[in-house]
C-alpha cells in the first residue's frame, strides 16, 4: 500500500498539474460499485471551484481552497492520480474523472477496491474525525519516544498504528528497523529512550530520502532493504540473510543477522 513518500509524490502531481484550474465536471468511471466515491451532491460541490492548495497527512492527500470544499484521496493498494489532456482517453480502471476548464483532466485510477475519494469541508476536521495520529514527518522526537515507549506491541506492529502516527506502513517500517538494527518482534515498550530515538532519527531520514527521489526505489542506495526485499536474499550491509515472518498480522522482512 502506498505510504507517506508515495502519497507525497502523488500530492506533487496534483500541485504541479492541477492547481488554479476551474472544475467544470466530475464524473464517475465504470465498475465503481465496490469503491467509495462521492455521490452526486458531493461531486456537485466541487463544480465551479478551483484547487488552490494541496496537503498531505499520513496516507491521505487533500486538495482544496480556503473558501471551497476539499477533496481527499486515499490511494489504497493500487490508486494513482493521473493528469492528462483531452482528447486523450482516460486510463483503464479510472474510477473518478475531473474535468478542468480547457483540456486538462485528472483521473483517479484504482484497479483494486481499497482506495477512496471523498469531498469534505476541511482537512483538519477530517484528520480529527478519522482519529489519525501526527504525520510521521511532523511528529517530534519527544512525542515519538513517549508514544511508542508506552506501546505494548512489537515495534513493527506499533509503527503501523495510524492512530499513533500516520504515514508509515509495511515497506518503510521494515526499512527503518533494518537500518536501525532492531528485530521487528522487539516490544516497543521494552526499548529505552536512546533506542527509540535512534529509530525516530532513522525513520525521518528514510522517509525524507524516499520523498526526495519521489518514491523511485531504483534511485535509493543499493544497501537498503527495499532494493533486495526478498526472503533468502543477501543482506547488503552485513552479509546475513533476509527472512520474512508474520508480525502483528503483517509480513515483516528483516536481516536475521544484524537485527536483534
H or E stretch covering 119: strand 116-120
Q: Domain of 87?
A: 4-129
Same structural domain for residues 35 and 63?
yes
Verify that 198 and 165 share a domain, yes or no: yes
Q: What is the arithmetic mean of pLDDT over 75-87?
A: 96
Assigned C-alpha cell, 34: 465496490
Shared domain check, 104 and 172: no
In a domain? residue 46? yes
Q: Are the CB atoms for 199 and 177 separated by under 8 Å?
A: yes
pLDDT tens digits along 152-204: 999 999 999 999 999 999 999 999 999 999 999 999 999 999 999 999 999 99
Kindly report the CATH number assigned to the domain that includes residue 103: 3.20.190.10
Calculate the alpha carbon distances from 175 to 30, 161, 202, 203, 206 in Å. 37, 16, 9, 8, 8
Alpha carbon dihedral 249, 251, 253, 258, in 10-degree steps, equals: 20
Taking the C-alpha atoms of residue 107 and residue 60, their distance in angstroms, rounded to an integer, is 17
pTM of the shown model:
0.95
Of 79, 104, 129, the residue that ends a domain is: 129
Whether 199 and 110 map to the same domain: the answer is no
Same domain, 154 and 118: no
Strands 116-120 and 250-255: unpaired
What whole-number distance in Å separates Cα of residue 32 and Cα of residue 258? 46
Rounded mean pLDDT of 51-74? Answer: 97
Residue at a domain's end among 129, 160, 188: 129
Residue of 60 and 35 predicted with greater confidence:
60
Does residue 135 lie in a domain region? no
- Count up the domains in the chain and report the number: 2
Q: Which residues contact 26 (CB under 8 A, 6 or more apart)?
A: 38, 43, 44, 46, 47, 96, 97, 98, 99
In a domain, 134, yes or no: no
Q: Are residues 147 and 117 located together in one domain of the fold?
A: no
pLDDT score at 250: 96
Residue with grid cell 530520502, as numbered in its chain: 209
Mean pLDDT of 43-49: 98
Task: Supply the CATH number for residue 147's domain.
Answer: 1.10.8.50
Amino acid at each position: 500500500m502506498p505510504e507517506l513518500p508515495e502519497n507525497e509524490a502523488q500530492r506533487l502531481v496534483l500541485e504541479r498539474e492541477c492547481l488554479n484550474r476551474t472544475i467544470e465536471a466530475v464524473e464517475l468511471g465504470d465498475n465503481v460499485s465496490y469503491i467509495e466515491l462521492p455521490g452526486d451532491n458531493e461531486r456537485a460541490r466541487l463544480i465551479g471551484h478551483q484547487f488552490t492548495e494541496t496537503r498531505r497527512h499520513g496516507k491521505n492527500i487533500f486538495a482544496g481552497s480556503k473558501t471551497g470544499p476539499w477533496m481527499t484521496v486515499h490511494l489504497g493498494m493500487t490508486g494513482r492520480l493521473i493528469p492528462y489532456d483531452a482528447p486523450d482517453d482516460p486510463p483503464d480502471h479510472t474510477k473518478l474523472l475531473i474535468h478542468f476548464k480547457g483540456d486538462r483532466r485528472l483521473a483517479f485510477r484504482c484497479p483494486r477496491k481499497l482506495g477512496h475519494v471523498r469531498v469534505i469541508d476541511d482537512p483538519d476536521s477530517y484528520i480529527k474525525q478519522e482519529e489519525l495520529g501526527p504525520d510521521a514527518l511532523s511528529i517530534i522526537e519527544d512525542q515519538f519516544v513517549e508514544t511508542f515507549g508506552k506501546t505494548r506491541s512489537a515495534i513493527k506492529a506499533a509503527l503501523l498504528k495510524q492512530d499513533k502516527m500516520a504515514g508509515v506502513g509495511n515497506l518503510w517500517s521494515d526499512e527503518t528497523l533494518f537500518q536501525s538494527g532492531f528485530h521487528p518482534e522487539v516490544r516497543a515498550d521494552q526499548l529505552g529512550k536512546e533506542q527509540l530515538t535512534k529509530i525516530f532519527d532513522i525513520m525521518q531520514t528514510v522517509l525524507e530520502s524516499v520523498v526526495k527521489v519521489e518514491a523511485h526505489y531504483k534511485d535509493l542506495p543499493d544497501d537498503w532493504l527495499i532494493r533486495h526485499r526478498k526472503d533468502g536474499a543477501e543482506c547488503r550491509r552485513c552479509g546475513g540473510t533476509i527472512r520474512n515472518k508474520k508480525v502483528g498480522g503483517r509480513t515483516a522482512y528483516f536481516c536475521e543477522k544484524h537485527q536483534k
